[in-house]
Amino acid sequence: MTQIDWFTIVSGVLGGVALLMYGIRIMGEGLESAAGNAFRKILAALTRNAWLGCLVGTVVTGIVQSSTAITVMTVGFVNAQLMTFRQALGIIYGANIGTTVTGQIMAFEIGKAALPAVAVGFTLQYFAKSRRVRSFGQGILGFGLMFLGLVLLKDGVSSLQDSPLAVRAFKELSGNLFLAVVAGAVVTVCIHSSSASLGIAMALAAHNLITLEAAVALMLGDNIGTCLTAQVASIGTQPTARRTAWAHTIHNIVGVALALVLLRWFLPLIVRVSPSVEGLEVGTSAYQAVLQRQVANSHTVFNLLDALLFLIFNSYFAALLERWIPDHRAGAVGTHLDRRLLGTPVAAAGATLQELARMARLCRTLVRGATDAILHPQKVDMAELWAEDEVIDELQDSVTQYLIDLMDSEIPDYVSAQVPAMLHVANDFERVGDHCKNLLEIAEQRRDEDMPWSEGADRDVLAMAGAIDQMLKLAADALNSGNPDPATEVLDLEKKVDRLMEEGRLAHLARSREGECLMLPGLLFLDALMNYEKMGDHVRNVARALAGGMMQAGATPTFDEGAGAAAETT
């Protein structure tokens, strides 16, 4: 009896899976980075309906090989109201189809190209001058590592044929398709990669350790495993993110259930659309290639049919999810905007002023965070700051809708006369948040491209940020207290911001002449100063509205602001 070297087998399989997973990840990251913002623009522009969204999701995910990245991007567009949830569902269906491209690539017998791809990719990634070329090199490197891992995995699996214990275990798996589905789900949850799980199924089928039916069942389990990962990631998130995770989960589970019920018709379809093993000797590379292609095709056909089914009933599916997980957008964000106050217009106006004070405090916090990010881009977690801007956007929506509802009722003239001013103030605070987003984009560019700034540039940014911070504090004080006097100081501070803008520009030109500042970092610096100057303009608009009598719209009762009031201290 042949002695089984379990250490070699286990290390080969685990090492192969690790290389396969790592290769898939860095290939996707590299190609996504090489594409830059192009895919964001494509997703935002070409998703007028769910069918077109599915096509776009398929193409984009097939290129970047990261359905997670595409899904996160899509949720961001829904939160920003750049697309509806129903349009976003199409992208989610397409992302599932796009991930099958990896399986189709792995089905090719091109293991000999693995090491040359690693060499070419490494050379481009570490020696190319262009960031885009380096990112493309990372994609090629990942491609090579993926195939190298697949070769190691298949070599390790082939040795299992000599183990009676392993053969018996896989025979049991082939005889129990439900067990195979569970095994596929568990493996995917453990390794967080459905593509790697599919690679394992392909390797087992290619070496006749499991039947094609069992390999398909493992593939179906992979699809369920990705849902569990998404559900864990959605815990504690916004309703839109939870709804998206459940859409993905229901979409996959229903598809898997139907595939199992219709398996007796599904398998012949796969064999019909794939190369045949007839006439091929078992164990040969040609035989293995055909089986791998059949497993890969089962993955593609399953996701195509699943997407088609849900696209046909997309409107009903979306309506079901929207009723099950409602937005609660205004109620969750508009702390003071109690709809029961709409019957008392003065109280409703006072509540609106308190909500505007809250917007001022949130803007102040965001300006501080964005300033910290732009000065220390490598150290600051910008994801939280992007989320803070979304809250400000939602607050503006809440205030706007609340005031529209207020105007629909009978209200005193002195209240209705100030409603336009309150709408403009909410818009000005939202615009402050937008300029903070611009600062975050500058910070991300500094971080990604490692752009240095001079100490003088840092001082100029801090000076302007400090003035904006003080302006927002005064505006919040005026709104919170009902006394417009603090807002008058804002007008003087706005002139100071304009002066600091000009001084910063001239100082930058002087530093550039002396060689202290490089061209591209310098342009980013001037862009940052311009955004602070625009913030000053918007807070000035708020101060003018306060000084113009907006506070007379309603009595401003004292609310217990807790931590919010504490934020007013310096």
Give the domains, in start order, of the chain with CATH numbers. 7-324 (no CATH), 332-566 (1.20.58.220)
- Is the confidence at residue 225, as pLDDT, over 50? yes
Average pLDDT over residues 319-341: 68
C-alpha closest to that of 42 among 83, 79, 86: 83
Q: Percent of the chain having pLDDT more than 70?
A: 83
**Residues 286, 275: Cα–Cα separation, whole Å:** 10
Please answer whether residues 354 and 332 qualify as being in contact, where contact means their C-beta atoms are separated by less than 8 angstroms: no
- Is the confidence at residue 234, as pLDDT, over 80? no
Alpha helices in 450-481, H assignment, sequence order: 455-481
Q: Which of 215-219, 236-240, 376-380 is the most confident on average?
A: 215-219
pLDDT of 518 reads 66
pLDDT of 331 reads 40
**62-115 pLDDT per residue, tens:** 876 666 667 666 665 564 444 677 878 888 899 889 888 888 888 877 667 788
pLDDT of 482 reads 76
How many other CB atoms are there within 10 angstroms of residue 102's CB atom? 26
Model's pTM, two decimal places? Answer: 0.55
**405-459 pLDDT per residue, tens:** 888 877 777 778 888 889 999 999 999 999 999 999 988 888 888 888 788 888 8
Task: Compute φ and ψ for 207, nearest 5 degrees.
Answer: -100, 20
- Is the confidence at residue 478, as pLDDT, over 70? yes
**Residues 552, 140: Cα–Cα separation, whole Å:** 65
Please answer whether residues 291 and 206 qualify as being in contact, where contact means their C-beta atoms are separated by less than 8 angstroms: yes
C-alpha closest to that of 63 among 139, 121, 128: 139
Helix (H) or strand (E) segment spanning residue 307: helix 285-312
Strands (E), 27-107: none
pLDDT of 329 reads 46
pLDDT of 40 reads 52
pLDDT of 200 reads 86
**Residues 498, 536: Cα–Cα separation, whole Å:** 8
Return the axis-axis angle of helices 239-261 and 212-234, rounded to nearest 10°: 170
Please answer whether residues 196 and 21 qualify as being in contact, where contact means their C-beta atoms are separated by less than 8 angstroms: yes
- Is the confidence at residue 173, as pLDDT, over 90? no
C-alpha closest to that of 418 among 541, 553, 554: 553
Q: Percent of the chain having pLDDT more than 90?
A: 22
- Is the confidence at residue 563, as pLDDT, over 50? no
